Structure 1
Amino acid sequence: MNNHEIDYKIYGDDMQFVEIELDPDETAIAEAGALMMMDDGIELETIFGDGSQRGFMGKLFGAGKRLVTGESLFMTAFTNRVAGKKHVSFAAPYPGKIIPMDLSLLGGKIICQKDAFLCAAKGVSVGVEFQRKLGTGFFGGEGFIMEKLEGDGLTFVHAGGTMKEVNLEAGQMIRIDTGCLVAMTPDVSYEIEFVKGVKTALFGGEGLFFATLRGPGSVWVQSLPFSRLASRVFSAMPGVPGGSRDEGSVLGGLFDFIDGK
């Protein structure tokens, strides 16, 4: 195994965090800002790229791939520098689920949405997966670029709401909302399908396109994409056309009258 072997425990239900147990000299990597807490004796180090490359050019290339996906050039490494087991915890950025994925059991690679990666054992490579089909790139919800996680260790991804893993047999196909795709194994065929029927497309409320996924392989689907959550929050903000103001307040209507609204 090239990756560090780490143990973990996930806490919580909707606002989860993962606690990783590190043996001496074991390291976990995480996105900047994911840290929740850590024991004394763990050394924190900012690294260029994801830490899986060696040499200056390898590190530069790895950092460049992260820049293309919209992520920071740097990640943070957490290493246990003392004797005995130590713990470090990473929190989910918004309500949802943290899913552990053992890459050694998934063919050494998964493809996921750009903001799904949370943390991993050191040695996991965080790279770029380009969509080769024009329609998928334009209308697939994630654009032409998705994240690629490679290695043979544990990685943790996060998505909104509840997550479901769907195992597809050879030739089996499912259609999902383009924003609900979290991750998939590389052997899954990913295409975009236009919603049939003008009336359904314009007034159905489900958008103009479906993501069509065909097996064999595994697919992870989320019930609440962050874009949908953000859209609902924004539409309910005061001052936004159609938004709410002083919701639940008996005096809300009086304040609106005084303000001339």
Structure 2
Amino acid sequence: MQYQIIGDDIQYVKVFLNPGEKIYADAGHIMSKSSSVTIQAKMRGGILSAIKRELTGATFFVTELMGPGEVDIAGVFPGKIVPIQLNGKGILAESHSFLFAEDSINYDARLAPLAPAILGGEGLFLATFSGVGQVFLHAYGGLYEINLMPGQSIDIEASHLLALEEGMQFTVTRVGGFKTMLFGGEGLYFVRVVGPGKVWIHSITAQQMASALMPFLPGGQKGGLPF
């Protein structure tokens, strides 16, 4: 599949599809397409996978696009588009980060560990991608990639974790005591990931973006209009 990522801090990706070549995208991210590209909604993976995706904060239906032609796809926040090549080893990703993937990629969802994932940040770890081909994610803000050696570990504030390779050990733990949770200025949960494997981290979160913009919105606490 041929593609071009355009832009720096606010990016979109232009995909060039050959006749009969197919991709599928998360609903709401398609900017434009050639008139020759056909489009339809599909459950992808059957009704069970679709239901699991819906429960974990992703979309029940995906949008399938088939060439020939061009398709422009973008994220909903400033950030980096992350192409990840899969060669049989899958990844687990934050459910809202998915943009699109090649037709050869399987898209499913993992319900466990559901409770700590929801508390840690809106369905973390629950989208799963496997197969051979490319999957494209969207990182909020900047992107940090780290390769962990066997036994090496890292603690990541839960809502900053974009994705990790399948098979890596990880645990979700609550931060400190009551004082830390109340006054620490961080999220309530951290994820400890143990190598070997690769981890993708985004520098800001959707919640941080929303908090930064709040004072400038109508009704905001600082300077917003009172309506």
TM-score (norm 2): 0.88
Q: CA deviation at 1:20?
A: 1.2
Q: CA deviation at 1:61?
A: 2.5
Distance 1:142 1:213, change over 3 A: farther
Match of residue 213 from structure 2: 233
Equivalent residue of 1:13, what SS? coil
Taking the aligned partners of 2:5 and 2:14, their CA distance within structure 1 comes to: 6
Which structure dedicates a bigger proportion of its chain to strand?
A: 2
- Counterpart check, 1:87 vs 2:74: no
Would the aligned equivalents of 1:192 and 1:212 in 2 still touch at CA under 8 Å? yes
The count of aligned residue pairs is 226
Match of residue 8 from structure 1: 3
Question: CA-atom RMSD, angstroms?
Answer: 2.4
Taking the aligned partners of 1:188 and 1:145, their CA distance within structure 2 comes to: 12
Would the aligned equivalents of 1:69 and 1:145 in 2 still touch at CA under 8 Å? no
Q: CA deviation at 1:144?
A: 7.5
Any idea what the Cα deviations from partners look like across 1:154-207, whole Å, max 9, x if unmatched? Answer: 110002101111111111111121110010112222213343466544322123
Q: CA deviation at 1:236?
A: 4.1
Match of residue 44 from structure 1: 39
Match of residue 72 from structure 1: 59
Match of residue 144 from structure 2: 164
Match of residue 245 from structure 1: 224
Q: CA deviation at 1:40?
A: 3.4
Match of residue 92 from structure 2: 111
1:1-261 equivalences under 5 Å are: 6-47=1-42, 49-50=43-44, 53=45, 59-81=46-68, 86-104=69-87, 107-132=88-113, 136-137=116-117, 139-143=119-123, 146-196=126-176, 199-240=179-220, 242-245=221-224
Equivalent residue of 1:130, what SS? coil
| Matching residue's letter, 1:126 | Y
Q: CA deviation at 1:209?
A: 3.1
Q: CA deviation at 1:143?
A: 4.4
Would the aligned equivalents of 2:83 and 2:137 in 1 still touch at CA under 8 Å? yes
Would the aligned equivalents of 1:44 and 1:76 in 2 still touch at CA under 8 Å? yes
Taking the aligned partners of 2:50 and 2:78, their CA distance within structure 1 comes to: 28
Taking the aligned partners of 2:8 and 2:73, their CA distance within structure 1 comes to: 15
Equivalent residue of 2:207, what SS? helix
Any idea what the Cα deviations from partners look like across 1:192-251, whole Å, max 9, x if unmatched? Answer: 3343466544322123432211111111000111122112223443434x32237xxxxx
Any idea what the Cα deviations from partners look like across 1:51-72, whole Å, max 9, x if unmatched? Answer: xx4xxxxx22332232222333
- Structure 1: unaligned runs, 5 residues or longer: 1-5, 54-58, 247-255, 257-261
Distance 1:33 1:138, change over 3 A: closer
Would the aligned equivalents of 1:17 and 1:92 in 2 still touch at CA under 8 Å? yes
Taking the aligned partners of 2:214 and 2:73, their CA distance within structure 1 comes to: 27
What's the % identity of the aligned pairs? 33
